[in-house]
Structure 1
Amino acid sequence: MPQLNVALIWHMHQPDYRDPVSGRILMPWTYLHAVKDYGEMLKTAREFPGARMTFNLVPTLVEQLERYATGEADDQWLEAARKDPRQMDTDERRFVLTQFFSVHGERHILPYPRYRQLAQKRGSTRLAASPEMFSDQELRDLQVWFLLAWSGHHLRREQAFIPYLLEKGENFSEQDKLQLLDLYDEEVAGVIELYRQMEQAGLIEISVTPYAHPILPLLCQTAIAREATPGIQLPGATFRHPEDARLQVRYGLDFIARRLGKRPRGMWPSEGAVSAEVLRILKEEGVLWAASDEGILAKSLDEGIDLGEALYAPSRFEELPLLFRDRELSDRIGFVYAHWEPERAAADLTGHLKNLARKHPGGVVALILDGENCWERYQDNGYPFLSALYSRLQQEPSLRMTTVSEAIASSPGRPLSRLAPGSWINSDFSIWIGHAEENTAWEWLERARRDTLGDQTPVDWEANNLPEKALHLLRAEGSDWFWWYGDDHSTEQADLFDRLFRRHLEAVYRADGQTVPQHLHSVIKPLHRKGLVHEPTALFTPVIDGRVNDYFEWLAAGAADLSAGGAMHASHRQFSMLLFGYDRKHLYLRLDPQEHLPSLIGACGYLEIRLAGQEDWIARLDPLQQTLTLQRPGEEAIAAEGEGACDHIVEMAIPLAPLKLATGKALNLSIHLLVDNEETARWPAEGPLTLQYRGEELDADEWYV
């Protein structure tokens, strides 16, 4: 029987974090992911000869790696990491305390006593602790632990000094820290060459994304957003510049050719965002193949064509070969398997692929996802899962790991008569346009382009010799700035993303010899956003029946936003808000499902509420049985019973006495959805909420109502 071709595409992407006005790099994520992920993923693949796969690179990522490798990068975070705390002023100490807990707490802070101790001392908010409260040694330990959190499996195995520091745990010296940074510099400097070597050896295929990771269909015409989302609010000024989209493609291809070898390359358009006009540009610029999401394919098929049959075979649009990602299986890697036992997760994914192999022998399944951000949630940076997965895929006779070029070589592809516009997220463009902040950014982008380029046609410029103002414009057109505008995603560095977008526009004007317009000095994203958590205003006692009985029942409750995502976009948005509060006997929680929860998760599904205060507890809600039990992690015995109800809403009453909460102390809380005892989703995705228990204080407040 013909094998099912499994085409893995790992997408590696970072925007240009360098402030083009000051020249300083404002965020360190390119460097840190180079330490932890870029070389790491290649080294894991190299351990499995014949494990064919595709790595997709964004040129702005490669550009930044070059700056770090040559020592040209002026990174304010790395400067803060290198500096001796004894020589820091108050602002520098505050910067370290504010930023150096920017890791996944569950994987990289809680397991390590010293890092956890420092996090607890700082408090739950970024400004909770005064810099004067921390000694020089505490700040140095924080610097080292932040760096250690970014060491991946292979680096820890190859460099004995890293396990030594992990074992040492605290009281690090300046020499310890600087030696660790030297190791990191060496690792980062070798990443590009490792990509080049592995492709030249035929071990991997390298594909490319347009230069600055723009949403190409919106560059061609912002009005196309209404084809995907009728009625969406568009910017006041139309942005219609297909020549810019073409230049992003051409310059991106040329840039990678000069760095990694000139050859025909496939393309993962930024965020899988495509349209008919975009694919024509790709074909005309010599792109070998392109890929997008199955939602785009579903909207593009003629009536009567089965999506399953079409999804697991190559397609083509006007002779350009196309693959469409299997959304469920790709998202399982990105969002589901991180907290599964690695062998079990690898077996589950392989089982799904074997089922597809029986239904579609000789077909192709495309698994396309972020190749860097999800691993911080996995055990040992994802190595146990990936090694188990690659091993199983190679051992399974019905499956064949393949690059995309190999997968499409043996099939002419099913022709598509039309191509629906959209991206891999919701098959539309609403992440990047439609919100007032996003629309303002598009309007300012159009104005800057009009003011500085006039009637010039950028595509006429030589791709390998672009003027500075053109490069700044291309970088300003990147999708990342728009990703963080609006309410879809959140980050503590949102103000920096806003500043970088406006600075790139400033640089366009400066490079053209013009005065920078005053509006670019004003923020687009408000500086003071409402907090993630609002505390309760009074004690209250709701009726636990799964229904909204009256307006006042939960009026005094606190609220925590669960919907805003981070650098990765999770497709599972069952819960968007948690309401919480208490009386003298119970902690009350309320969740408003987007779908009827018992019907969604079936007879084998349940919710776990994991609570960490003075002690760790798990509250388990069975939506079908309408029961809630409280027990310690790892123990079967039920310590207490509460109340639970699941109807239009989910309501829980968790007994307070066993929790032993102290007034004014923190309670960490996370919500987990399990089906067949395997976690399928969690909220918040980026780590537990931190709530302040104010029981006695609220009791006193009632006297003043």
Structure 2
Amino acid sequence: MAYPLYVALIWHHHQPWYKSPEAIADPTGQYRMPWVRLHGVKDYLDLVLILEDYPQLHQTINLVPSLILQLEEYGQGKAIDPHMTLTLTPEQKLTGQQKETIIDNFFHANHRTVIDPYPRYRQLYEQKQEKGRKWCLENWSSQDYGDLLAWHNLAWIDPLFRERDRQIQTWFDKGKGFTLSDRQAILKKHQEIIRQILPQHRKMQDTGQLELITSPYTHPILPLLADSHAGRVAIPEMALPDRRFQWSQDIPRHLRKGRKVYSDQFGREPRGLWPSEQSVSPAILPHIAQAKFKWICSDEAVLGSSLKHFFHRDETGNLYQPEILYRPYRLQTLYGDLAIVFRDHRLSDLVGFTYGGMDSRYAVSDFMGHLDAIARSLIEQQGTHETTLNHPWLVTIALDGENCWEHYPEDGLPFLRELYKRLSEDQDIQLVTVSEFLQQFPPTEIIPTESLHSGSWIDGSFSSWIGDPVKNKAWDLLNAARQTLAKHPEATEENNPEVWEALLAAEGSDWFWWFGEGHSSNEDALFDQLFREHLRSVYHALNESIPRELYQPLEDHAHVGDRPPEGFIQPVIDGYGDEQDWEKAGRIEIGGARGTMHKASLVQRLLYGSNHLNFYLRFDFKKGVKPGKELANELHLFWYYPNIPVYTSPVPLANVPQQTPVNYLFHHHLGINLMTESCWMQEANANHSWHSKSSRINIAFSQCLEVSIPWADLHKKPGSSLHLIAILADHGKFRDYLPENNLIMLQIP
């Protein structure tokens, strides 16, 4: 029998508890942050409305319970956040502090896709970027603030609604001169859009086009609730909190409340569970099965560690043994079996982090090409002369369905329409919900429960939520609050719901994500504050004294230093170093380091990062320096690949000192003439020689030097590591190198 290639596309919609337990009576807004509302008008409704035009395409969507409850309150007009309060304030009555808050916070969006398309919004943004907050405070008129307040709320409205709602398009056509009544109407339109989100999802669930699934109540990392020592499964040397967190009895609460929010809203019981951050461990499986969930999902890294199998990919990113990943597995527990599917990490990341920077038609062609390659590879594995699939395989693609669209033109509308059009026309690919596939093709392969790896979709570990000193401190504070609650058996969920709501909110994953190293945002301090507010509410509800440390931030949020990359980047290479483009890049502070580079301080910092297409470097030089004068006229990049057998050669420059790491042997060399902005690429050959090779490297040097290097030019497999060093030279003569006594380390995605 011939089968199509089955594809399960799972979108994950999630926002943490922004509602403060300490701000219920606060007239400026009990919601500390506006992201449920802004994503509500940009990302949730349009995604399913676009899909509705292609009824043969079925998908799975996860709506986290904490998001559902907040959407309900916004839709009912019960929620207010500080951005709403400012928007509804007459611009003539804004205080100086309010104006500062507006200038600092009302441009928080990807400026290339959300701000730049609208001339008035772009004008205000450029004034702030080029002239600074002080200039804006001194020169902006009341109308400038009125227009900024309007555009901050307008630009988040998805383009699809401009097509369908003439009133919305009228505001975009107006462009400037917005009044308070305009802003009131815009926020009323926000409420109108948000009110449609949940009913539309239920409608499409009932027609069978959507499968809706849920998550634990406030999106906690269940394996860490069961035992914080689970962090050492993937990273044995991980530093853990001082107090071991072991409160597995909270897991059934999160699962039970998650199911109830779902069933109350959608009129049926959920079959699937999205474990928060796709985090799994053997300890949580009985709880999930006992809660009557039928299937869960996780990441290919978790599958690989569970099976002791390393997934090898070719240069285009396609798996060598696809049959291991593209199938469901069975987990056996005392309370029944669970099915588990594992996402294709690379394909999911391409949609989430890479395709937004590409032309939509080219991006969709690349995506379809990967699916075609998967089908061809599976057919080859059959070992027959058949030209079609003789087994039902399932490719799972699962990713964040909110944040990625901010990096796409028109919020992803052209991409999604082209993708759904191509998928609907392809007879060899069938989009299914996970339950549809499992009901027709139950899993036959078993993963022994004790063999299931403890990890998440981030590197197969829990390091994004535990192990850092600040994250560990937060776990200790949470543990202390949980132990205090345990001393009050009279405080049940029935007679003291406030204490349990506060505890479960504090157990959510998001606070730990933003603490310490690894991830940062413009609102780290607010996440810190809100976490401590939830913990203070635990003590308050128990009439216990509140620990002093809960009134102090967990860390200094103003500190900026060296850090590894925090996510994929896709900067525009123009030599101007747009800070938003490089927000998630790794950073090495050079000017503040010790040694020769500190003496000269000509290079202030080095930023680096990648996506699935390219890796990027940015060199920030001391303001005013010129190549060929104070600054060397050449920059040379050299890199090698540990544990990969390739030809290597020494640095082809004069006067290179015999010291590490400049006396290493390297495989690739990129030379850049800073005066002419020209470059040349070389690859090591036999007998320690170099030969030229073509490349599509892009460089630009103006306010800084930006470099884009395609992974494809290196001809190395995904997952390979590379080590990089930069050398400054004058006409081929070594001058200095950076970073000092170190190498930049990257991994090909």
TM-score, normalised by the number of residues in structure 1: 0.81
Match of 1:609 in 2: none
Q: How far, CA to CA, are the matches of 1:386 and 1:591 in structure 2?
A: 41
| 1:372 positional shift | 0.7
Q: How far, CA to CA, are the matches of 2:528 and 2:205 in structure 1?
A: 36
| 1:498 positional shift | 0.1
Match of 1:689 in 2: none
Q: How far, CA to CA, are the matches of 2:711 and 2:309 in structure 1?
A: 35
Match of 2:565 in 1: none
| 1:82 positional shift | 2.0
Q: Is the aligned partner of 1:420 residue 2:450?
A: no
Native 8 Å contact 1:10 1:369 kept in 2? yes
Provide closer, same or farther for how the CA distance between residues 239 and 129 of structure 1 changes in structure 2, counting only shifts above 3 A. Answer: farther
Q: How far, CA to CA, are the matches of 1:408 and 1:188 in structure 2?
A: 32
Q: Which of residues 110, 116, 119 in structure 1 aligns to 2:122?
A: 116
Match of 1:703 in 2: none
Residues 592-603 of structure 1 correspond to what in structure 2 (within 5 A)? none
| 1:626 positional shift | 3.7
Match of 1:434 in 2: 467
Q: Matched residues, percent identical?
A: 33
Native 8 Å contact 2:32 2:82 kept in 1? yes
Native 8 Å contact 2:127 2:136 kept in 1? no
Match of 2:482 in 1: 449
Give secondary structure in 2 for the equivalent of 1:37.
helix
Q: Is the aligned partner of 1:467 residue 2:500?
A: no
| 1:147 positional shift | 1.5
Residues 71-470 of structure 1 correspond to what in structure 2 (within 5 A)? 71-123=77-129, 127=133, 129=135, 131-301=137-307, 308-318=322-332, 319-360=337-378, 361=389, 362-409=392-439, 410-417=441-448, 418-454=451-487, 456=489, 467-470=497-500
Q: Is the aligned partner of 1:8 residue 2:2?
A: no
| 1:423 positional shift | 0.3
Match of 1:700 in 2: none
| 1:399 positional shift | 0.8
Once the two structures are superposed, residues 560-593 of structure 1 have per-residue CA deviations (whole angstroms, 9 ceiling, x without a partner) of 5556x9xxxx799956874534632478897989
Provide closer, same or farther for how the CA distance between residues 124 and 479 of structure 1 changes in structure 2, counting only shifts above 3 A. Answer: farther
Q: How far, CA to CA, are the matches of 1:46 and 1:102 in structure 2?
A: 31
Native 8 Å contact 2:481 2:539 kept in 1? yes
Q: Which of residues 578, 603, 607 in structure 2 aligns to 1:557?
A: 603
Provide closer, same or farther for how the CA distance between residues 432 and 576 of structure 1 changes in structure 2, counting only shifts above 3 A. Answer: farther
Native 8 Å contact 1:579 1:591 kept in 2? no
User: Residue 398 of structure 2 aligns to which amino acid in structure 1?
Assistant: I
Provide closer, same or farther for how the CA distance between residues 114 and 489 of structure 1 changes in structure 2, counting only shifts above 3 A. Answer: same
Q: How many residues align?
A: 621
Give secondary structure in 2 for the equivalent of 1:146.
helix
Native 8 Å contact 2:608 2:615 kept in 1? no
Q: Is the aligned partner of 1:583 residue 2:625?
A: yes
Give secondary structure in 1 for the equivalent of 2:225.
helix
Match of 2:533 in 1: 503
User: Residue 288 of structure 2 aligns to which amino acid in structure 1?
Assistant: L
Match of 1:22 in 2: 23
Native 8 Å contact 1:292 1:423 kept in 2? yes
Q: How far, CA to CA, are the matches of 2:681 and 2:158 in structure 1?
A: 43
Provide closer, same or farther for how the CA distance between residues 15 and 83 of structure 1 changes in structure 2, counting only shifts above 3 A. Answer: same
| 1:172 positional shift | 2.1
Native 8 Å contact 1:298 1:307 kept in 2? no
Residues 530-679 of structure 1 correspond to what in structure 2 (within 5 A)? 530=560, 555-559=601-605, 561-562=607-608, 578-581=619-622, 583-585=625-627, 626=670, 628=672, 640-642=676-678, 667=703, 672-674=708-710
| 1:112 positional shift | 2.8
Mark the runs of 5 or more structure 2 residues left unpaired by the alignment: 25-29, 312-319, 379-388, 562-582, 646-666, 685-696, 714-749
Range 299-308 or range 255-264, more displaced: 299-308
Q: Which of residues 511, 519, 522 in structure 2 aligns to 1:492?
A: 522
Native 8 Å contact 1:50 1:203 kept in 2? yes
Provide closer, same or farther for how the CA distance between residues 419 and 575 of structure 1 changes in structure 2, counting only shifts above 3 A. Answer: farther
| 1:323 positional shift | 0.2
Q: How far, CA to CA, are the matches of 1:457 and 1:315 in structure 2?
A: 42
| 1:180 positional shift | 1.9
Q: How far, CA to CA, are the matches of 1:11 and 1:84 in structure 2?
A: 37
Native 8 Å contact 1:243 1:457 kept in 2? no
Native 8 Å contact 2:213 2:270 kept in 1? no
Give secondary structure in 1 for the equivalent of 2:74.
helix
Once the two structures are superposed, residues 12-71 of structure 1 have per-residue CA deviations (whole angstroms, 9 ceiling, x without a partner) of 000011111112111100001110011011101111111100000100000101111121
Give secondary structure in 1 for the equivalent of 2:261.
helix
Native 8 Å contact 2:637 2:671 kept in 1? no
Provide closer, same or farther for how the CA distance between residues 148 and 219 of structure 1 changes in structure 2, counting only shifts above 3 A. Answer: same
Give secondary structure in 1 for the equivalent of 2:273.
coil
| 1:3 positional shift | 1.0
Provide closer, same or farther for how the CA distance between residues 578 and 408 of structure 1 changes in structure 2, counting only shifts above 3 A. Answer: farther
| 1:247 positional shift | 1.4
Native 8 Å contact 2:699 2:707 kept in 1? no
User: Residue 321 of structure 1 aligns to which amino acid in structure 2?
Assistant: A
Q: How far, CA to CA, are the matches of 1:303 and 1:536 in structure 2?
A: 40
Provide closer, same or farther for how the CA distance between residues 425 and 575 of structure 1 changes in structure 2, counting only shifts above 3 A. Answer: farther
Residues 37-76 of structure 1 correspond to what in structure 2 (within 5 A)? 37-76=43-82
Provide closer, same or farther for how the CA distance between residues 307 and 323 of structure 1 changes in structure 2, counting only shifts above 3 A. Answer: farther
Once the two structures are superposed, residues 362-389 of structure 1 have per-residue CA deviations (whole angstroms, 9 ceiling, x without a partner) of 2000000000100011011111111111
Give secondary structure in 2 for the equivalent of 1:123.
helix
Range 383-392 or range 316-325, more displaced: 383-392
Mark the runs of 5 or more structure 1 residues left unpaired by the alignment: 539-548, 601-622, 631-638, 660-666, 678-705
Once the two structures are superposed, residues 77-134 of structure 1 have per-residue CA deviations (whole angstroms, 9 ceiling, x without a partner) of 1111222211111111111111000010111223333222212222369855452331
Cα RMSD after superposing both structures: 3.6
Range 48-57 or range 75-84, more displaced: 75-84
Native 8 Å contact 2:6 2:394 kept in 1? yes
Range 311-320 or range 7-16, more displaced: 311-320
Q: How far, CA to CA, are the matches of 2:559 and 2:323 in structure 1?
A: 46
Match of 2:577 in 1: none
Native 8 Å contact 1:210 1:248 kept in 2? yes
TM-score, normalised by the number of residues in structure 2: 0.76
Provide closer, same or farther for how the CA distance between residues 503 and 41 of structure 1 changes in structure 2, counting only shifts above 3 A. Answer: same
Q: How far, CA to CA, are the matches of 1:280 and 1:200 in structure 2?
A: 30
